[in-house]
Amino acid sequence: MTRFCGSLLNSTYLYLAITLTSVVSANATPTDELLSQLNEQVVRVQVGLANGGYGVGSGVVVAQDQVVTNCHVVANAVSISVVKNGESYVVSAIKPDWHHDVCIIKVEGLNLPVSKIGTSKTLKYEQPVFTIGYPSFLPAPVSTFGFVKGLYPMDDSVVVRATSTFRLGDSGGGMFDENGYLVGIMTLKSPGRSAYYYNMPVEWVQALLKQPEQAISAKSSLPFWAVEEKQWPYFMRVVQPFQTEDWQSLNTLAKAWTKQEPNNSEAWFYLAAAEYATKNTLIAEDHLQKVVLMNAKNSQAIYYLGLIADANGKRIEALNDVALLDALDNAKASELKLAIGITN
């Protein structure tokens, strides 16, 4: 069987993306000089399978002769190679963290610049980020630009959702902050046209660097996102009911999430969204205010508060929410303007 970017497919979540990012504001775009430097740190990963199939992905140099990629890219491989600048290098060993879908592969003689590793835990909502990987079979790395939209606490770090997108072959590539520090590893997306793009945190990469090497034929296991849906983290489980407007299911999931993680602003946001949609506006408003107190840059919460303010005749309050969104998220600001009848 031919395999692209890994063999793990889930009925609801995919590990590859299908669209390029839309244009974002200029302050999210790194300089050509910085991009050129970072492109040298990102490689293509090629995998051979026992049945004659193959897989492709991306990787980032994180230490001398060590490249991080997604485990789903190299799972069940009989051979792994890294390609850069027309040269192919054989992978001799692997350090796997199958559960988190982060693997480090050893590449003797690679001699490429090493990425500066930042932190995922200190990222902020609406912070500009960009990704670099090797989509499909393009000969050169490709960049996409966007902003942080979600930070989901998990196992001593945070899974990062951002609008910087990725495509087939990008899995294992890098997400960088505006200063060129590696802050995430491109991994998976939710289904549908309005997909959520998730990046694994660099803290997991740093922990893995300290682990012993194994043979590339080491037995693999499923990552957290490829197990049964009922075992997924809540930040994955709420996406489909939210996007398909299954408000009853969303309400049930979000309530359970707030009980499990009472200090998670995302949990309270999804509960408020379900309450707003089912006309429990007063409760929704209270929970949205709670979200904003916990995270003043949650543009979705501010959008809903603007809708509620306008519906209650509080035009000035609604206009203030528009102004807040203008500074945070132009697309969401335009959406609110249209919803409350602002034409200029």
CA dist 331 and 325 (Å) reads 9
The dihedrals phi and psi of 197, each to the nearest 5 degrees, come to -110, 125
| pLDDT-based confidence at residue 49 (cuts at 50, 70, 90) | confident
Strand partners for 151: 160
CA dist 2 and 211 (Å) reads 31
DSSP assignment, residue 312? T
DSSP assignment, residue 113? P
| pLDDT-based confidence at residue 11 (cuts at 50, 70, 90) | very low
53 or 309, which is more confident: 309
CA proximity to 266, closest of 241, 229, 240, 294: 294
Alpha helices in 70-211 (DSSP H): 71-74, 202-209
Q: What is the pLDDT of residues 237-278, one digit of tens each?
A: 999 999 999 999 999 999 999 999 999 999 999 999 999 999
Predicted pLDDT of residue 13: 54
Predicted pLDDT of residue 21: 29
CATH code for the domain defined by 26-226: 2.40.10.120
pTM tops 0.75: yes
Q: At what angle do helices 265-277 and 247-260 cross, to 10 degrees?
A: 150
Assess whether pLDDT exceeds 50 at residue 35.
yes
Mean pLDDT of all residues in 316-333: 96
- Non-local CB neighbours of 283 within 8 Å, separated by 6+ positions: 272, 275
In contact, 178 and 114? CB cutoff 8 Å:
no
- Average confidence score pLDDT of the chain: 90
Predicted pLDDT of residue 14: 54
Q: Indicate if the alpha-carbon torsion angle 292, 294, 297, 300 is positive or negative.
A: negative
Q: What is the pLDDT of residues 126-178, one digit of tens each?
A: 999 999 999 987 889 999 999 999 999 999 999 999 999 988 899 999 999 99
Assess whether pLDDT exceeds 80 at residue 47.
yes
Collapsing DSSP states into helix, strand and coil, what is residue 97? strand
CATH code for the domain defined by 229-339: 1.25.40.10
CA dist 188 and 310 (Å) reads 37
Mean pLDDT of all residues in 215-231: 93
In contact, 322 and 336? CB cutoff 8 Å:
yes
Assess whether pLDDT exceeds 80 at residue 7.
no
Same fold, 26-226 and 229-339: no
| pLDDT-based confidence at residue 192 (cuts at 50, 70, 90) | confident
In contact, 305 and 292? CB cutoff 8 Å:
yes
Rg (CA), the chain: 21
Collapsing DSSP states into helix, strand and coil, what is residue 147? strand
Predicted pLDDT of residue 10: 41
Predicted pLDDT of residue 15: 45
What is the DSSP secondary-structure string of 31-75? PHHHHHHHHTTEEEEEEEETTS-EEEEEEEEEETTEEEE-HHHHT
User: Structural domain boundaries of the chain?
Assistant: 26-226, 229-339
Predicted pLDDT of residue 28: 58
Mean pLDDT of all residues in 308-324: 97
Mean pLDDT of all residues in 103-114: 95
Assess whether pLDDT exceeds 90 at residue 4.
no
CA dist 162 and 148 (Å) reads 4
Assess whether pLDDT exceeds 60 at residue 19.
no
Assess whether pLDDT exceeds 70 at residue 23.
no
Predicted pLDDT of residue 52: 86
Q: What's the length of the chain?
A: 344
In contact, 17 and 168? CB cutoff 8 Å:
yes
From residue 315, give the alpha-carbon distance in Å to each of 84, 141, 142, 334, 343: 57, 47, 44, 16, 15
Reported in sequence order, the residue ranges of 98-141 that DSSP labels E, i.e. its strands, are 102-107, 128-133
